[in-house]
Each structure stands twice: as structure tokens, then as C-alpha cells.
């Protein structure tokens, strides 16, 4: 059923065009000129009465086909809207929560955090909106919050996180057996998979631990998948679980020195660690901080040959400031 829904959604525009041509053809044959022209072409092979009887039947069939095409086109538009990858409304979340067996206080917390996230996302405060959505999911796991969080991850550049959540949404939709939910989740997964990786940005003038910054992209799961960072100051967008550290790499020329300094976020800071690794992945030095606006001492690595060095982050990275400089 979900495959049929996806097919109808994808071909609604061609059906609309076919319906338009059917109307044009129908109107043409309702005139006298077109039927008479066709009749003259047929000559004396059939009588006039027989011709008009066949024409009338053809018009009825064409009109029936037109109605079917219009119906499918309208259905495609409706299903396209219902399965579009977009942030769900608060009303949809409340409807899902009514069907969930959860503590009333937890439900209210999930609703409050979700409503807060919608407001923050409208103001482009993505990191705060993401934190609120994560709190909503923690209070009561819902497909509504999960799919909306996947869209915010995608918007913030966390492509892998968005794909992971979309895959969870697809699995949960298949378990529910609801064809509309399955089609919506699969469209969401297709959209986040199709999103391009964010391009490298130039470091803004005057960047500093306090001041302009670049957004820190989602880190890789290992050295091989580590994204490249240009020398600049970065603002952390996502916390990193201890079991899943985030890896980044910095390109160095022979004789250059990499220096990394981390400042913890100034409100609600959590334990955070930063580690440097050499070109072969070997650990060089690491340090951990805990406390609001705590700053690490500089971690340094001098390259003996051209290549890459790696930075590994763990813990409460969201809201932190990471200064990466190369001298």
C-alpha cells in the first residue's frame, strides 16, 4: 500500500497534464467542426447515425477517463501534502501522545519542549531547538518529535544524525503498519539522504572564543570519516555521547603547528574532553574540562611532514567554543 501511495504522489503532475488534454479533446469533439472533419475523413465507410453513436460512446468513455484522472491527480496532491517531509504541528504531537501509555507529567513535558522547539526553529535558533526536541524525545519518545528532529539535524548540517533518525522513523512506521506513516517516513529518509554535505566556509573576520564563529559540523565516527576543519573558531552544535566520540581532521604542512583550545559553554556546562591525534591516529595529548566557561590549556602538535592531525571531542560539546589554529 505504501508503494502505491508513493507512486501516486510521484505521478500526480503527469496525470494532471493528461486530464488537461482530455478536457481539450472533449471540448473539441463537442463542436460541429471537429466531428464533421473526422466524418469526412472516414468517407462512406460508416453511416452518419452510426458515426455519431460511436462518437457519443467515445465521448462518454473520455469523460469517464477524465474523471478518473482528475480524481487520481487530486488524490496525489492530498497524499503529497500528507506525506511531505515537514515539521509536524503541535496538534499532531498531542494526537500521538493521546495514544501513548505514559505518565501525564512526562506527556506535558514532551509537549512543552516540542512547542518551545517549534518557536526556536522559526527564529533559526537551531542548537536550542534541537536541545528542546531531544528533551521532548527523552520525556516521551514519539515519531512526531523524531521526524521533526531529523529535519532540524538536516538543516543544521548533521546529515548522519538526520539519516539515523529517519531510519528509526521508517522502522517504527513499518511496525505500526500504517501506510501513510510508512510513505511519510520513507520520503523523509530519501530527503535527508539526498541532502548534500555542507561546503567548507571561510573563517569570519574577528573570530574568537568570544565573537564570530563557524558552526562545528557533525564529527566522523572514526579517523577515516573525520570531516576537514579550516583554522577558525567553531561553535559546537551537538553534544557527543561518551561511547561515540566525534573526530575531525586538520591539514598541516611540514613544520606547521596545530593548536587547539576548548572553552565549555557558559550555561549548563557538562563534562567535555578534547584529544589530539597524529597522522597515524596515535594519541598525543588530551584534557577534560567541567564547569561553565572553563577553558583548556592549548593542546599542540607540530607536524614533521605534510599530512593531517586529528581532534577528538566527547561530552557536552553543544554551545562550546573550539579554537583551531595553525602556525
**Which pLDDT value is given to residue 233?**
94
DSSP structure string for 33-82? HHHHHHHHHHTTSS-HHHHHHHHHHHHHHHHHHHHHHHHHHHHHHHHHHH
8-state DSSP, 157: T
What is the average pLDDT value for the chain, to the nearest integer? 79
**Which pLDDT value is given to residue 14?**
55
Which residue would you say has higher pLDDT here, 183 or 29?
183
Query: What's the length of the chain?
Result: 327
**Which pLDDT value is given to residue 130?**
83
What are the residues whose beta carbons fall under 8 Å from the beta carbon of 15, sequence distance 6 or more?
Answer: 69, 72, 73, 76
Residue range 116-127: average pLDDT? 80
Nearest to 293, CA basis, from 314, 324, 272: 272
Q: What is the pLDDT of residues 127-173, one digit of tens each?
A: 778 888 888 888 888 888 888 888 888 777 677 777 888 888 888 87
pLDDT at 22 over 80: no
What are the residues whose beta carbons fall under 8 Å from the beta carbon of 202, sequence distance 6 or more?
Answer: 230
Per the listing, cell 528509526 goes with: 168
Q: What is the pLDDT of residues 48-98, one digit of tens each?
A: 676 677 777 777 877 787 777 677 667 666 666 655 666 777 788 888 888
The span from the CA of 75 to the CA of 169, in Å, is 24
- What band does 4 get if pLDDT is binned at 50, 70 and 90? very low
DSSP run (H or E) holding 134: helix 126-139
Residue ranges of alpha helices (H) inside 240-308 are none
pLDDT at 231 over 80: yes
Which residue would you say has higher pLDDT here, 201 or 117?
117
Residue 232, classed as helix, strand or coil, is strand
Q: What is the pLDDT of residues 172-229, one digit of tens each?
A: 878 776 777 777 777 778 877 776 555 567 888 888 898 899 988 878 888 888 888 9
**Which pLDDT value is given to residue 260?**
93
Rounded alpha-carbon distances, angstroms, from residue 206 to 129, 150, 213, 228, 233: 27, 32, 9, 21, 10
Residue range 303-314: average pLDDT? 92
Counting residues of the chain whose pLDDT is more than 70, the rounded percentage is 75
**Which pLDDT value is given to residue 256?**
93
- Give the CATH number of domain 90-194: 1.25.40.10
Sign of CA dihedral 36, 37, 38, 39: positive
Helix axes 48-82, 33-42, angle to 10 degrees: 120
Q: Which CATH number fits domain 214-326: 3.40.50.150, 3.40.50.300, 1.10.1760.20, 2.60.120.380?
A: 2.60.120.380
Residue range 273-283: average pLDDT? 92
Q: What order of strands is seen across the sheet that includes strand 283-289?
A: 246-252, 307-315, 272-277, 283-289
Say how far residue 140 (Cα) sits from the centre of its chain. 21
pLDDT at 118 over 70: yes
What are the residues whose beta carbons fall under 8 Å from the beta carbon of 20, sequence distance 6 or more?
Answer: none
Amino acid at each position: 500500500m505504501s508503494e502505491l501511495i508513493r507512486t501516486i504522489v510521484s505521478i500526480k503532475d503527469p496525470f494532471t497534464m493528461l486530464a488537461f488534454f482530455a478536457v481539450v479533446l472533449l471540448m473539441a469533439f463537442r463542436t460541429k467542426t471537429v466531428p464533421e472533419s473526422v466524418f469526412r475523413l472516414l468517407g462512406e465507410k460508416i453511416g452518419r447515425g452510426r458515426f455519431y453513436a460511436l462518437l457519443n460512446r467515445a465521448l462518454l468513455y473520455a469523460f469517464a477517463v477524465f474523471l478518473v484522472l482528475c480524481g487520481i491527480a487530486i488524490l496525489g496532491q492530498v497524499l503529497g501534502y500528507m506525506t511531505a517531509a515537514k515539521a509536524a504541528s503541535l496538534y499532531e504531537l498531542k494526537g500521538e501522545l493521546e495514544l501513548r501509555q505514559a505518565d501525564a507529567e512526562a506527556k506535558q513535558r514532551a509537549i512543552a519542549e516540542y512547542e518551545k522547539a517549534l518557536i526556536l526553529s522559526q527564529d533559526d535558533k537551531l542548537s536550542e531547538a534541537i536541545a528542546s526536541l531531544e528533551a521532548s524525545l527523552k520525556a516521551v519518545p514519539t515519531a512526531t518529535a523524531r521526524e521533526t528532529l531529523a529535519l532540524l539535524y538536516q538543516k543544521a548540517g548533521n546529515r548522519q544524525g538526520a539519516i539515523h533518525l529517519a531510519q528509526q522513523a521508517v522502522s517504527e512506521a513499518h511496525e505500526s503498519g500504517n501506510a501513510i506513516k510508512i510513505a511519510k517516513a520513507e520520503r523523509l529518509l530519501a530527503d535527508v539522504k539526498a541532502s548534500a554535505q555542507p561546503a567548507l566556509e571561510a573563517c569570519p573576520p574577528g573570530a574568537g572564543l568570544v565573537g564570530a564563529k563557524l558552526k562545528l559540523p557533525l564529527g566522523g565516527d572514526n579517523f577515516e570519516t573525520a570531516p576537514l576543519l579550516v583554522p577558525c573558531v567553531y561553535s559546537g552544535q551537538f553534544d557527543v555521547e561518551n561511547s561515540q566520540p566525534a573526530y575531525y581532521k586538520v591539514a598541516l604542512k611540514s613544520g606547521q603547528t596545530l593548536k587547539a583550545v576548548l572553552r565549555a559553554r557558559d550555561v549548563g556546562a557538562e563534562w567535555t574532553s578534547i584529544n589530539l591525534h597524529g597522522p597515524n591516529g596515535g594519541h598525543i595529548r588530551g584534557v577534560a574540562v567541567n564547569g561553565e566557561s572553563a577553558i583548556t590549556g592549548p593542546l599542540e602538535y607540530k607536524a614533521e611532514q605534510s599530512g593531517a592531525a586529528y581532534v577528538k571531542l566527547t561530552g557536552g560539546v553543544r554551545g562550546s567554543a573550539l579554537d583551531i589554529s595553525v602556525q
